[in-house]
Amino acid sequence: MALAAAVRVPARVLLRAGARLPGVALGLTERVDGWGDGARRFGSQRVLVEPDAGAGVAVMKLKNPPVNTLSLEFLTELVICLEKLENDKSFRGVVLTSDCPGVFSAGLDLTEMCGKSPAHYAEYWKATQELWLQFYQSNLVLVSAINGACPAGGCLMTLTCDYRVLADNPRYCIGLNETQLGIVAPFWFKDTLENVIGHRAAERALQLGLLFPPAEALQVGIVDQVVPEEQVQSTALSAIAQWMTIPDHARQLTKAMMRKATASRLITQRDADVQNFVSFISKDSIQKSLQLYLERLKEKKG
* Active-site residue list: 108, 153, 177-178
- Closest C-alpha among 155, 243, 224, 220 to residue 192: 155
DSSP strand pairing (148-151 vs 174-175): parallel
**Which three-class secondary structure state does DSSP give residue 149?**
strand
Contact 145/96 with Cβ under 8 angstroms? yes
- Tell me how far apart the alpha carbons of residues 273 and 269 are, in angstroms, rounded to a whole number: 6
Q: Where are the beta strands (DSSP E) in 25-68?
A: 42-43, 47-52, 57-62
Give, rounded to a whole angstrom, the gap between the first and last alpha carbons of the chain. 46
Contact 43/30 with Cβ under 8 angstroms? yes
